[in-house]
A and B are shown apart, each in its own frame.
Chain A
Amino acid sequence: MVRFSRMNCIQCQAEFDRLLDGRLDSQTETLLRKHLEDCPDCGAAWRDYEGAWAAFVSVTEIEPSSNFVARVMGQLDRVERETPAHPWFFPLPWRWVAPATAAVMLFAASIGVWMNVQHDADQAVNQELAVNLPVVQHLDLLRDFDIIANLDRIAPFSDHDPIEEMLKALWNS
């Protein structure tokens, strides 16, 4: 809403739509009309703007056929025959209960199948572990003492044990 004692051209032309639609308050409209009288540019711009809208509004509309309403009403019988007003057994608030229940049951069933598959897989792993556990434990032991990693650096088995030789040397001394 414009609250000035005078209007400039920008303010004036910004209000053209509201003036055309009759949405201006009386004070702003008075200011605008005064500016349109005083400013030839804005006056001409307003005449074009208003004239184009008046031309658009004056364009002749096409008339509906005299039997248009009858044709539409005649269509309703066909529509009713094709799709009854309540094609569902249940009324509207309960209409979604059946599909929703089916969806929940389907979801639960798929979860059950998935858990069953997981259980079978776990069982297979457990059986395999039971068979191979000693080997696995042995391997773990070897890994713990870095034996596997240092296999190439361990001296081949020989008759003389360095620890035994060291103990013998201590005894002799």
Chain B
Amino acid sequence: MSVDPDTELMLKVRRGNRAAFEALVVKYQRAVINTIYRSVGDPTEAEDLAQNVFVQVWKSRDRYKPTAKFSTWLFTIVRNMCLNEVRRRARHPADSLDKPIVDGAEGGESVWQVPDQRAKPPSEEALAAELRKQVDTALAALPETQRTAMLLLRHQNMPYEEIAKVMRCSLSATKSVIHRARAILRDQLKPYLRP
């Protein structure tokens, strides 16, 4: 039976091999940063948290057991880090710097936007940008378990069995979570999809 190459690298990391650790960081940086970014919504903060994740991997390398796939172990740390961050934010809520500022609206009242009938139909590029925006919104609105499962499936093409391990739930529950998340995305994005 062939050993997972990441597990081999991690076993070297356990012996203090920095080159092996660097190889793992290079391989997983993008997936880790993007997974965290979808939870916290801020790219700079996502990078800082991703850095903490990798430092945590280095610090707890003694505890890694080759029985688990490295990616499962790594994304369990990622998920815990995201959950801690969400809890920390809930305890210390702060106004977002990205809060939209509405001109002319007193006391934060929403402005009623009337569609301009004379406007030209939106370009392909504008439609694609709108779709991307809607995907971001729909993804942010998903419950944490559904969002994490979808991101693991998308970034890592992770098998359902591994996703179940990261999420600490059964395989059937994972399938159900992914199905529900896809159905929600379909309902949210349906108006923006091509007929």
Residues of A within 8 A of B (CB): 16-17, 20-21, 47-49, 51-53, 55-65, 68-69, 71-73, 75-76, 79, 83, 85, 92
| 20 CB-based A-B contacts, threshold 8 Å | A16-B182, A20-B182, A48-B193, A51-B189, A51-B194, A52-B190, A55-B131, A56-B154, A57-B154, A60-B132, A62-B46, A64-B47, A64-B50, A68-B33, A68-B50, A68-B51, A69-B25, A75-B51, A79-B58, A83-B59
B193: chain A residues at CB < 8 Å are 47-48, 51-52, 55
Q: Name the residue on B nearest A47 (C-beta).
A: B193
Mark contacts of B167-187 with chain A using CB atoms, 8 A cut-off: 1 yes-contact digit, 0 otherwise: 000000001001100110110
Q: Are B33 and A64 in contact (CB under 8 A)?
A: yes
Q: How many angstroms from the CA of A68 to the CA of B30 in the assembled complex?
A: 10
What would 11 more interface pairs be, CB under 8 Å, given A49-B183, A62-B46, A92-B62? Answer: A17-B178, A48-B193, A56-B185, A59-B139, A61-B155, A64-B30, A65-B47, A68-B50, A69-B29, A73-B18, A85-B62
Nearest opposing residue in chain A for B56, CB measure: A79
- Give A115 to B154 CA distance when docked, in angstroms: 64
Q: In the complex the two chains form, is A53's CB within 8 Å of B182's CB?
A: yes
Write out the residue numbers on chain A whose beta carbons fall within 8 Å of the beta carbon of B59: 79, 83
Q: Are A17 and B150 in touch, CB under 8 angstroms?
A: no
Min C-beta distance of B37 to chain A, whole Å: 6
Contact B29 A68 (CB under 8 A): yes
Q: Mark B62-91, 1 if CB is under 8 A from A, else 0.
A: 100000000000000000000000000000
> Pick the contact of B25 from A49, A60, A63, A73 — CB < 8 Å?
A73
Residue numbers in A under 8 Å from B164 (CB-CB): none
Q: Tell me the smallest distance from the CB of A73 to a CB of chain B, in Å.
A: 6
B8 lies within 8 A of chain A by Cβ: no
Q: Does B39 contact A (CB under 8 A)?
A: no
Q: Is the CB of A17 within 8 A of B182?
A: yes
- List the 10 closest pairs (A to B, CB-CB), nearest first: A52-B186, A51-B193, A52-B185, A52-B189, A72-B54, A64-B29, A61-B34, A59-B135, A75-B55, A48-B186
Tell me the smallest distance from the CB of B9 to a CB of chain A, in Å. 14
- Could you tell me if B25 and A52 are in contact, using CB atoms closer than 8 angstroms? no
Complex CA gap A63/B146 in Å reads: 23
